């Protein structure tokens, strides 16, 4: 996964779909961005990129009453996981994805995989296919962006893990003393999609959401079983404009298919045909 997805909804749009008990996206959350996020965090964003704050679903036991049942929440978290032991937040740029095959073995992700799992709602994601036949102006293999989504029209629910990082330079009562970040779990791309890229996000179906978010799911073997990819065939994909490559661009037009006459050296993910060779 190259690090872009579409989230064209507001928190209100997905609260019911994801059975959310509390929408807490209006609460202050520390950002790592130097300039204000555009579009604003929590607003529809067709070009979600690392370091932005994104809407995430997680389940937490209330601090003021730990005997109560866990509460499913919507929160704004920063994309790019910063482990609790990191000296600073820069490492988050290298940790936007976590491989399912090694999730429970890597020090940066293992604890979160057992204790802090989340769902990342999305319309779909972007991936760049490296051409086998066409080159760009610099003589390098041409890269064609694709948009990939569920074929049934449902939102995607990317499996994710999240972490808390404490800024020791700030007082405990400073609202920016804590940064909460997340990583999207990836797995091997299924047949067809592997003609676009060899990895894809792990998209969980609705029937496993509760188990994935349940704080009582702590056995590593249980977690490992949830990382198994569902059967192939759930997704559809098409080539889109290269405009998605710039974070300054946004809007539904980024997800719209481009014409066949605009393609050069593109492999059809369904048939394997080379278009515009």
Indicate which residues carry an active-site annotation.
2, 127
- Give CB contacts under 8 A, 24+ apart, made by 255-258: 255/6, 255/46, 255/123, 255/124, 255/147, 255/149, 257/147
Supply φ then ψ for residue 211, to 5 degrees: -65, -40
DSSP letters spanning 25-71: TTS------SS--SSPTTS-EEEE-TTSEEEEEEEE--TT-TTSPPE
Q: Name which of 98, 104, 77 is nearest 89 in CA terms.
A: 77
Degrees (nearest 5) of the Cα angle 218, 221, 225?
A: 105
For residue 41, what are its two tokens? 């965090």
Q: Which residues pair with 154 in a beta bridge?
A: none
Burial class (CB in 10 A: 0-12, 13-18, 19+), 106: middle
> How far is Cα 275 from Cα 193, in angstroms, rounded to an integer?
16
- How would you class 5 by CB atoms within 10 Å of its CB: exposed for 0-12, middle for 13-18, buried for 19 or more? buried
- Whether residue 106 contacts residue 98, with contact meaning beta carbons closer than 8 Å, is answered with yes
């Amino acid at each position: 996964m190259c690090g872009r997805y579409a989230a064209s909804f507001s928190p209100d749009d997905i609260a019911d779909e994801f059975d959310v008990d509390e929408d807490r996206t209006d609460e202050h959350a520390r950002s790592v961005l130097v300039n204000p996020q555009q579009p604003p965090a929590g607003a529809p964003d067709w070009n979600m990129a690392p370091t932005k704050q994104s809407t995430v679903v997680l389940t937490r036991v209330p601090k003021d009453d730990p005997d109560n049942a866990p509460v499913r929440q919507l929160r704004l978290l920063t994309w790019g996981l910063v482990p609790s032991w990191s000296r600073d937040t820069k490492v988050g740029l290298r940790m936007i994805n976590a491989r399912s095959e090694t999730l429970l073995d890597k020090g940066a992700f293992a604890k979160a995989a057992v204790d802090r799992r989340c769902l990342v709602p999305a319309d779909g994601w972007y991936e760049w296919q490296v051409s086998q036949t066409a080159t760009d102006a610099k003589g390098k293999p041409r890269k064609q962006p694709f948009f990939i989504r569920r074929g049934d029209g449902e939102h995607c629910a990317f499996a994710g893990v999240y972490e808390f990082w404490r800024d020791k330079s700030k007082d405990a009562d400073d609202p920016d003393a804590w940064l909460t970040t997340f990583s999207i779990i990836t797995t091997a791309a299924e047949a067809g999609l592997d003609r676009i890229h060899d990895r894809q996000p792990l998209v969980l179906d609705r029937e496993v959401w509760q188990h994935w978010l349940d704080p009582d799911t702590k056995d590593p073997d249980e977690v490992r079983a949830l990382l198994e990819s569902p059967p192939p065939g759930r997704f559809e994909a098409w080539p889109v404009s290269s405009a998605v490559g710039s974070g300054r661009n946004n809007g539904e037009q980024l997800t719209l298919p481009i014409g066949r006459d605009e393609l050069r050296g593109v492999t059809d993910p369904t048939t394997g045909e080379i278009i515009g060779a």
